[in-house]
Amino acid sequence: MSERNAQGTPRLDQRPEWHALAKHREELSGTHLRDLFDRDPDRGSRYTLQVGDLHLDYSKQLVTDETLDLLRELATATKVFELRDAMFGGERINVTENRAVLHTALRAPQSATISVDGQNVVPGVHAVLYKMTVFADRIRSGEWTGHTGKRIRNIVNIGIGGSDLGPAMAYEVLRSYADRDLTLRFVSNVDGADLHESVRDLDAAETLFIIASKTFTTIETITNATSARQWLLGELGAGDEAVAKHFVALSTNAEKVAEFGIDTTNMFEFWDWVGGRYSFDSAIGLSLMIAIGAESFRSMLAGFHLVDEHFRTAPPERNVPLLLGLLGVWYGGFHDAQAHAVLPYSHYLSRFTAYLQQLDMESNGKSVDRDGNPVSWQTGPVVWGTPGTNGQHAYYQLLHQGTKLVPADFIGFARPLAELGPLAGQHDLLMANFFAQTQALAFGKTPDEVRAEGVPEELVPHKTFRGNHPTTTILANELTPSVLGQLIALYEHKVFVQGAVWNIDSFDQWGVELGKVLAKRVEPALTEGADVPGLDPSTKALVAKYRELRGR
């Protein structure tokens, strides 16, 4: 394999900065987090950063000042900052799709100028935001009524991946900001059970379907949307004239929207420079805006923008997304870590990690570099996690005493939501767990400490905690729309940094294509018993078994 890329620059693992990190890793092996704190008791206050409302403590990371310097040198050498500026500047950094990457324009203020091919995209962004605001207000006020004149009380978003996970996650996060008289449902799975369970208790006359699809060709979404239309018209006993009052579309593809039968005046547009997994703060957020209102939605956008500006302008030593990205490079590249856990200590963030899975794994789950050469370094980790206290009674055993290194982010809040009333009293217990876990993971419990508790010798190894498990703690005052925006932008830019260092295209997703094509090919084999050319013997036998079980 060539040691250089097409541009003549060295491949990542041939760079002197990479070798320096490898050597440094050798030198650090055997150093425990306990040693790092012994050597530098101020670490707990020194290794902290602030961005907006987010206080970030990275003192329990397996790093020293030297590690951080070396990682930043790697970032400089791999031109992370140049690529960042190119992204913000509207250049076509999504090389395999030849597209600009401008989700940051979705939250830019009206006064900003961001050009793609010489055209300022900001006025278009704000025009759509305005259209969304007017529509959301009409639904929330009851002015927009359904075909029979009834007020809309149910919103069903039909979309998948980036057209589902963002609003579905954010609706959970911001429930206490939502109009509680509205019912929101999110349908994504092509399994008919998803739509069935979502509409079975709804009055069609009070239901609005939002069909969310960037391409408007995604088979799952179009199938569910078609079924939803049949359900609605059947329930109402109406013809196609009822569709206009009950269906709107969020898409970049006006032609396909019209073909489906949705009036394009009821379409909320976005653009090909918004990747699906980066689209939640575009028109794709319409269901959320209806739930929480335009003001809260805009406050969330302001939170995104705050972190965008921080990422764009903060010096490397204080740049939080840069730090988070580089920590991932450190563990993947030099500790062979395969996974990354995101553990929110907030019930409201229960779907946050699922959202991050698409953001991170669809972006950085790549094994060729931007020039198409296979990479010989680790790229995106397996991202996983659920709310922390539940995890403690499920998989934390592996984090504490298993054989794998799983760096983790702990996310928590100082204040419970006022709405919890007397239940807010449980918050200190929740947060006691939050703080206790990162301490236990970092410092563990030595055999001597276990013995001092009078534990019989044969049980000492079982009750010993090795510790030395790296975590980042992200603490904010309260979970607000702005804080949600800040958190998402933080992770978006962390993913960006890693993709830049690894020299991969974080903005394409060719890896999902093969399955899609094969599914289309396999379907006639299931339904008609068609002899599908190219089916491998295992799949052929499984298809035959399926048909037998279905009595076909």
- Binding interface with ligand F6P (CB under 6 A): 160-163, 213-215, 218, 221, 276-277, 362, 509, 512
Question: Shortest distance, CB of residue 277 to ligand F6P, whole angstroms?
Answer: 5
Question: In the complex, which residue's CB is closest to ligand F6P?
Answer: 276
Indicate the residue among 120 and 215 with the shorter CB distance to ligand F6P. 215
Structure tokens at 148: 């029979």
Q: Which two tokens stand for residue 333?
A: 């590249």
Starting at the edge strand that comes first in sequence, how are the strands of the sheet with 382-384 ordered? 48-51, 54-57, 471-476, 408-413, 339-344, 382-384
How many CA within 13 A on the CB side of residue 329?
33
If the CB atoms of residues 414 and 519 are measured against ligand F6P, the closer one turns out to be 519
Q: Nearer to ligand F6P by C-beta: 160 or 489?
A: 160
Shortest CB 9 distance to ligand F6P, Å: 29
Q: What is the C-alpha separation between 99 and 507, in angstroms, rounded?
A: 9
Dihedral over alpha carbons 328, 333, 337, 340 (to 10 degrees): 20
Angle at which helices 481-502 and 80-88 cross, to 10°: 130
Q: CA 507 → CA 99, 357, 364, 433, distances in Å?
A: 9, 14, 8, 37
DSSP labels, 360-387: IIIHH--SB-TTSPBP-S--SPEEE---
Least distance in Å: CB of 359 to ligand F6P?
10
Shortest spacing between CB 363 and ligand F6P, in angstroms: 10
The catalytic residue positions are 362, 393, 516
CA distance to 108, 285, 346, 364, per residue, from 293 (Å): 19, 11, 22, 33
Least distance (Å) between residue 515 CB and ligand F6P: 8
Give min distance, CB of 543 to ligand F6P, in A: 23
Q: With respect to ligand F6P, which residue has the nearer C-beta, 147 or 214?
A: 214
Cβ proximity to ligand F6P: between 160 and 475 the closer is: 160
Distance CA 140, CA 248 (A): 15
Nearer to ligand F6P, 215 or 446 (CB): 215
Helix%, strand%, coil% for the chain, nearest 5: 55, 10, 35
